[in-house]
Amino acid sequence: MPGLNLVNPIRLNKAGLRQLDGLGEVKHIMRLGAFHGLDDPFYMDRYKPAFWSQEGGEAYVEPPIDHVLTEGGVLPFAGAKLFCFGNTKVPESALVLESGKGILLTCDAIQNYENFSNNNLLARIVMPFIGFSKTTLIGPIWLKFATPEGASLRSEFDRLLELDFDSLLSAHGTLLKTGARKAVGKAIEKAFPG
């Protein structure tokens, strides 16, 4: 069976873990955002894979990084391109899978919500009041914590738009099957007006 690469993994229930085990051996885990990683130690203990992440995250410092993710650097699999946001207070990256028209995998920076069904009841009630809408958006909480005082990350998002992708799968929200590049462009304009 082929080796598996988990990107931004969250802990599955027993049935989900059985399904995952049936797909093959987990060889690599990739963390794309500094505010994610709660379940990484569980997967590291269960599968003993190699761990890939950018350096500098302070929210989750375990497990230790086996392979540092860098833009243009080595990845655990072919057919992908890593984008690292520059000039941020916390590390954040995105991954483009060069399959079909391109699939953009993100963590906190870019999110897509067709609905809030993947959130708990409290989050579903609160999200519209704290800057989340049922659309593609720049994560408002992430943007607040990632942006250096007096700076703008607009140029980094413009740089991201130079990549080729048509689908978006974020660690938050729902899959956007097509039209993702245009949707991300609109989200950038809304987050950085003028």
Contact 146, 123 (CB under 8 A): no
Position 124 scores a pLDDT of: 62
Q: State how far the Cα of 191 lies from the Cα of 172, in Å rounded to an integer.
A: 17
Site of tokens 């655990």 = 76
At residue 74, the pLDDT reads: 93
Q: What is the rounded distance in angstroms from the CA atom of residue 104 to the CA atom of residue 98?
A: 9
Secondary structure of residue 185 in the 3-state scheme: helix
Per-residue pLDDT of 115-164, as tens digits, reads 666 766 776 667 666 667 777 999 999 999 999 999 999 999 999 999 99
Residues present in the chain in total: 194
Contacts of 153 (CB under 8 A, 6+ apart): 85, 87, 88, 143, 146, 147, 192
Q: What domains lie within the chain, and their CATH numbers?
A: 3-191 (3.60.15.10)
What are the backbone dihedrals phi and psi of residue 139, each rounded to the nearest 5 degrees, phi first? -55, 110
Q: What is the mean pLDDT of residues 22-49?
A: 94
User: How far from chain centre, in Å, is Cα 120?
Assistant: 20
pLDDT tens by residue, 105-118: 999 999 998 766 67
Q: What is the pLDDT of residue 1?
A: 40
The pLDDT mean for the chain works out to: 91
Selection from 118, 132, 124 nearest residue 169 by Cα: 118
Q: Is the pLDDT of residue 2 over 60?
A: no
Taking residues 17-25, report their average pLDDT: 95
| pLDDT given at position 97 | 97
Q: What would you measure as the largest C-alpha separation in the chain, in angstroms?
A: 51
Neighbour tally for 84: CB within 10 Å: 17
